[in-house]
Chain A
């Protein structure tokens, strides 16, 4: 079946603009994660959705970052008033409740000029 997909694959934006990044998880996976990987850094946890539970937003770096997951499937990560330090690869992953193995999408490379 299809894996996790993310769009766009690349996004270049100007400082101060808002961006939306999309994630389509594997069908049936109840858990969805957003991470980012800045240049030379590891995977930084951002936010986690599990079923109908309130999301774990503990990794969001500032209130400019938000995410939602509609209908328990597609998720959108929104970054408002982007800053140059937001430049990174944003990765989405999903997992089932049976296996906690996370399946990652290819990522969205965000460049803020």
Chain B
């Protein structure tokens, strides 16, 4: 059964430095892994994804790395900005009993200090 773990509940980074958020999953699938960002009192918004056939996907200041052998994802934000302060969730696909859905991690609260 797919499990997704984000072992760091919080992270503080100085503005301009790199933020690295980590995520571990248990079951491999040929599909996309996702990162979402959530501000207080708002629903999560899609941030970036990575296909399981790639090891890196970059979109502006955001880069996601996938290490399939370690079953590990990481999201890099560089340079970090105060507006990046939010909770970040990773999500991995699960396909069981004919249904397909994403399982989310518990989130990492990022605080970027000005």
Residues of B within 8 A of A101 (CB): 34, 46, 49
Q: What mask results when residues 11 to 47 of chain B are scored 1 for a CB within 8 Å of chain A, else 0?
A: 0000000000000000000011010100001111110
B62 CB-CB contact with A under 8 Å: no
Q: Which of A35, A91, A101 has the most CB of B within 10 A?
A: A101
CA distance A45 to B104 in the complex (A): 8
Known: A91-B43, A104-B43, A106-B42. A42 touches B101 (CB 8 A): no
How many inter-chain contacts with C-beta < 8 Å in the A-B complex?
A: 54
A102 CB-CB contact with B under 8 Å: yes
User: Does A93 lie within 8 Å of B101, measured CB to CB?
Assistant: no
Q: Pick the contact of A43 from B32, B41, B44 — CB < 8 Å?
A: B44
Interface residues on B, range: 20 to 34
User: Does A33 lie within 8 Å of B44, measured CB to CB?
Assistant: no
| Chain B contacts with A in 44-97, Cβ cutoff 8 A | 44-46, 49, 89, 93, 97
A25 CB-CB contact with B under 8 Å: no
CA distance A41 to B107 in the complex (A): 8
Known: A43-B107, A101-B34. A106 touches B41 (CB 8 A): yes
CA distance A43 to B89 in the complex (A): 8
Q: B92 to nearest A CB, angstroms?
A: 12
CA distance A100 to B92 in the complex (A): 11
Q: Pick the contact of A103 from B46, B89, B101, B104 — CB < 8 Å?
A: B46
Q: Pick the contact of A42 from B34, B99, B107 — CB < 8 Å?
A: B107
User: Does B34 lie within 8 Å of A45, measured CB to CB?
Assistant: no
CA distance A100 to B41 in the complex (A): 24
Using CB atoms and an 8 Å cutoff, list the residues of chain A in contact with chain B.
Answer: 4, 33, 35, 41-43, 45, 48, 50, 53, 56, 91, 93, 100-107
